[in-house]
Amino acid sequence: MRLHVFLAQAGVASRRQSEKYIAQGLVRVNGRVVTQMGVTIDPTKDEVQYQGKPVFLSDKRVVMSFYKPRGIISTMKKGLEEGQCIADIIESEERLFPVGRLDRDSEGLMLLTNDGKLALRLSHPRYEHEKEYQVTVDKTITDDQIKRLKKPFMIDGYRTRPAQVTKSDDKEFTIILREGRKRQIRRMCENIGLQIKKLKRIRIGDILLGDLKSGEQRIEK
């Protein structure tokens, strides 16, 4: 098994982030620092450490729903100068990492897991899992603006997919995406002259935010 895949499946981080940890010299195999990519290990024989702590594959898969409060950073890396992160709030005996992200100014549903394969299935665009958001903006939304939000946008040279958009009040709407470009909804709104006052994710696939309150967590069955 490739080392970065092992780290992801053990819940250390995503595959991409695990590669970065390896390159930074934070991972040891049988006592030796490994920095090159492509190293393979035998999980039943080799001893792996991340930041000096042993890493094991867990037989217990954990999926946690978490209501990320506004202002909290979507990472499990503690001690950030920028402020609090998810790891400062959640309580878990398992080593979890977030599936995807929510920008600092957004709130709502985030999933955390110790299962790297599940994280990939839930976060990679090719699997087309729906993500639903409630959006409040600074002014009354016109029917034309709703129509424009439904159409593809160009973001950083990428053409987004059409979105499902439903107006729920004068200054509120829900939007469903099957992808997740950086700050996509905010940039879509800016493009049509709207500023977001509140952005809350309420669903990922078939998992709902439900009655979770800000800062609360729930283990999914």
Catalytic residues: 103
Q: Which of 54, 56, 65 is nearest to 11 (CA)?
A: 56
Burial 195-219 (b: 16+ CB within 10 A, else e): ebeebbbebbeeeebeebeeeebbe
Structure tokens at 57: 């594959």
Q: Which of 113, 137, 107 is nearest to 213 (CA)?
A: 107
CA distance 122 to 128: 8
CA distance 37 to 198: 41
